[in-house]
């Protein structure tokens, strides 16, 4: 019985030690900086194509397809626009959360391992 208790205690202590070391090495992602980068990327595409995402989506599918055939950068409007939305949302959402809580959120969501 004592051997089982010791084995469980060693497992418990080693898991906690791994968690503490991981937390000390952890640095949370700066979503506000990512939002600025995404805004710059979106503005570059909008200026290059002379069209915003909402203007592009207001077109019919056939017109969008013709634009896409002319320049494949039209496909980058949507991902760059969505990257702005996600980054701004997370910037606001995570602005008042402590490093420990961010660590737990990233650990549970799996983003810690990205």
Q: pTM of the prediction?
A: 0.66
Task: Give the C-alpha separation, 63 to 59, whole Å.
Answer: 6
Structure tokens at 16: 């906690």
pLDDT digits (tens, 9 = 90+) for 7-52: 999 999 999 999 899 899 988 888 889 899 999 999 998 898 888 8
């Amino acid at each position: 019985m004592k051997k089982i208790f010791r084995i469980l205690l060693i497992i418990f202590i080693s898991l906690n030690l791994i968690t503490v070391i991981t937390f000390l090495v952890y640095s949370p992602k700066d979503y506000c900086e990512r939002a600025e980068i995404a805004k710059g990327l979106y503005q570059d595409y909008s200026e290059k194509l002379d069209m915003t995402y909402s203007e592009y989506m207001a077109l019919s599918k056939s017109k969008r397809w013709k634009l896409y055939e002319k320049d494949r950068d039209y496909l980058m409007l949507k991902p760059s626009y969505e990257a702005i939305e996600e980054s701004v949302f997370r910037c606001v959402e995570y602005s008042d959360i402590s490093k420990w809580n961010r660590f737990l959120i990233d650990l549970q969501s799996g983003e810690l391992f990205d």
